[in-house]
Structure 1
Amino acid sequence: MREIVVYYVDAFTDIPFGGNPAGVVPDAAGLSEAEMQKIARELNLSETAFCVKSDRPGVDFTVRYFTPATEIDFCGHATVGLSWILATEYGWLTRADRVVLETNVGLVPVEWRKQGEQLEAVVMSQVAPRTREAKVAVEEIAEILGIPVAEIDRQYPLRLGYTGNWHLLVPVKSRQAIDQARPDLARLARLNREDGVSTTHLFTFNGVDAEAQIYTRDFAPAVGVSEDPVTGSANGALAGYLVLEGILDKTKEHLLHIAQGHAVGRPGKLFARIVPQEATPLIQVGGKAVPTIRGALLL
């Protein structure tokens, strides 16, 4: 019988039972893909990260991500949860300034932000952002999401955004309208699968609290998750969209504070830093995490 160490980690929060819970398997060496999928189904969180020490130069770990239903290429909040565990439980906070994770979409460096000797936040550099046209009409997506079409904010374009996964980015006029969304999850799943999209991500600049400039909500039925409380990959894609679509000045650095999870009783906060570069901007997403469960899974 094998014992596999597992953690539940609440990401993008400093309060237990807030933010977005991720499963973390810090040593997944020897696990098959089928076993990883079964473990993710058993843990029954939106995503579980499986980590294996790497022998490749310049790479510390290889990471794979599974929802209860399928493998996905990248997951922001599970990356934050895993990195927090590596730093605080496995000594990497004092061993190095960062770790480099090899994912299905490429290398993701994760840096430590410290206050004295304490870990204050982890910051991941996501892969280069991209956007492309969304095929769905504004009227159709409003109907699928269960919000009045008048609440779609047409001063911003409806687009697909990417920093590791593709997300349908939907601008909405107010936080109230976002919180009142009642999507038809079966229709949304079909739409997202047709477009190769992982999640549908609603965002607004209006009605947000004093600590955040943007409020978001994320639905992911195409990958087996009805609603993701606080979404690192989608908010990274949103940050990239804001500069690539000319909403924010691409020649300047921006620091965005984003709130999410309030609609499902798991409020969380993250920050997204946009750094100008010659080719495409660098998108960094970071935040805190809180481990809530540590145990052994028996195989």
Structure 2
Amino acid sequence: MTSNLTDSVLHYAAFTADPQGGNPAGVVLDAASYDAARMLAVAADVGYSETAFITEHDMDERRFTVRYFSPLAEVDFCGHATIAAAVALAERIGPGLLVLDTQAGEVPVLTVADADGALHATLTSVPTHTRPASGTELSEALAALGWKQSDLDTELPAHVAFGGVQHLVLAAATRARLADLDYDFDALGEVMRRHGWTTLQLVWRESDDLFHARDPFPVGGVVEDAATGAAAAAFGGYLRTLGLAPHGSTVRIHQGDDMGRPSLLDVDIDAADPRVRVSGQAVPIKQ
């Protein structure tokens, strides 16, 4: 890469305009010499839920290969670290379309600057899909969460949704149920590893186009994500499949409020396209 793309870890807050909000992500813009062990060690040292490592690039085509690591493991795709990496790149090479090659597939990201110069990014997910959760999956997850069947919104059934990685979607019947999250970290992590889920997408529907979310992430060594772009993409596919976005729509997700790191994720759903667009801002965190 060009000399102005440093190989040190950059720190960004994604899905926010406030460095004290959003979901922090590490970004390494030149990780061509890093092996998986080094990337995992760096991610563990940074301590954020995800760090993005750019391992290959084509500057003429604005195409980059990206790998994502939590403190405990590699993840095929991470939305908030994608937004952070795209903004970090746009700050150095200018706004426009970027193409990220991830282990989940190709993810185009459009970066634009608003009138004040703030950078916003919109990722287009790989094709999403969803299926109803089995009775065993649901009962095991509820037991680890300490939730009851009666805590769920019966109009939004439990599904396993994919938007690059898999998430169990559970809809709480009340905002109070969502706010009261005190789960068994080890037990839920074991359930998630057994079923191949990256996070749980716990949501509460305030209205048809406004949701609140919390995402436990024990398989990554993190109690909770403050903003989860991959889960937002999967949730967009879930809403489309359930016919809750029949003509295409945009929904907003508030996440991180209960952690003191408010985040805003805008999810664009096209009824005819299995891909979902997730948009947000990212800003540097001063170290």
Shift of residue 139, structure 1, vs aligned partner = 4.8
Aligned twin of 2:113? 114
Q: Are 1:51 and 2:48 an aligned pair?
A: no
Task: Say which of 91, 94, 104 aligns to 1:92.
Answer: 94
Shift of residue 247, structure 1, vs aligned partner? 2.7
Structure 2 match to 1:80: 83
2:197 & 2:137 partners in 1: Cα distance?
16
Q: Letter of the aligned partner of 1:60 in structure 2? A: R
Q: How far did residue 198 of structure 1 move?
A: 0.7
Residues of 1 paired with 2:250 and 2:207: CA distance? Answer: 19
Structure 2: 5+ residue runs without aligned partners?
1-5
Q: Secondary structure at the match of 2:9?
A: strand
Q: Which residue of 1 aligns with 2:215?
A: 218
The equivalent residue for 1:7 is 10
In 2, are the aligned partners of 1:7 and 1:293 still within 8 Å (CA)? no
Structure 1 counterpart of 2:284:
291
Q: Deviations over 1:56-108 (max 9, x none)?
A: 996610000000111010000000011111111x1222xxx210000001110
Distance, in Å, in 1 between the alignment partners of 2:188 and 2:241 is 25
CA distance in 2, matches of 1:120, 1:4: 22
Tell me if the contact between 1:276 and 1:282 (Cα under 8 Å) persists in the aligned partners: no
1:36 counterpart letter in structure 2: M
> 1:98, 1:59 → 2: CA distance?
7
Q: Distance in 1 between matches of 2:36 and 2:138?
A: 39
Closer, same or farther in 2 for the Cα pair 1:144/1:99, shift >3 Å? same
1:192 corresponding residue in structure 2: 192
- Which TM-score applies when normalising by structure 1? 0.88
Q: Output the CA distance in 2 between the equivalents of 1:100 and 1:217.
A: 28
Q: Name the structure 2 match of 1:246.
A: 243
For residues 243 and 156 of structure 1, the distance between their equivalents in structure 2, rounded to whole angstroms, comes to 12
Query: How does 1:59-70 map onto structure 2 within 5 Å?
Result: 60-70=63-73
**1:161-193 Cα deviation digits (max 9, x unpaired):** 001000000011122110102111211111111
Identity %: 35
Aligned partner of 1:35: which letter? Answer: R
Moved more, 215-224 or 132-141: 132-141
AA in 2 matched with 1:105: A
Q: Is the 8 A contact 2:245 2:269 kept in 1?
A: no
Quick check: 2:11–2:286 contact (8 Å CA) kept in 1?
yes
Name the amino acid aligned to 1:122. A
Q: How many residues align?
A: 281
Deviation at 1:148, TM superposition (A): 3.9
SS at match of 1:183: coil
Once the two structures are superposed, residues 9-52 of structure 1 have per-residue CA deviations (whole angstroms, 9 ceiling, x without a partner) of: 00001011111000000111211111111111111110000013
TM-score under structure 2 length normalisation: 0.91
Q: Which runs of 5+ in 1 are unaligned?
A: 295-299
Per-residue CA distance 1:146-166 (angstroms, 9 max, x = gap):
234322112221110001000
- Residue 8 of structure 2 aligns to a residue whose secondary structure is strand
**Secondary structure at the residue paired with 1:286?**
strand
What is the 5 A alignment of 1:18-167?
Answer: 18-55=21-58, 60-88=63-91, 90-93=92-95, 97-116=96-115, 118-135=117-134, 136=136, 138-167=138-167
Q: Is 1:236 the counterpart of 2:233 in the alignment? A: yes
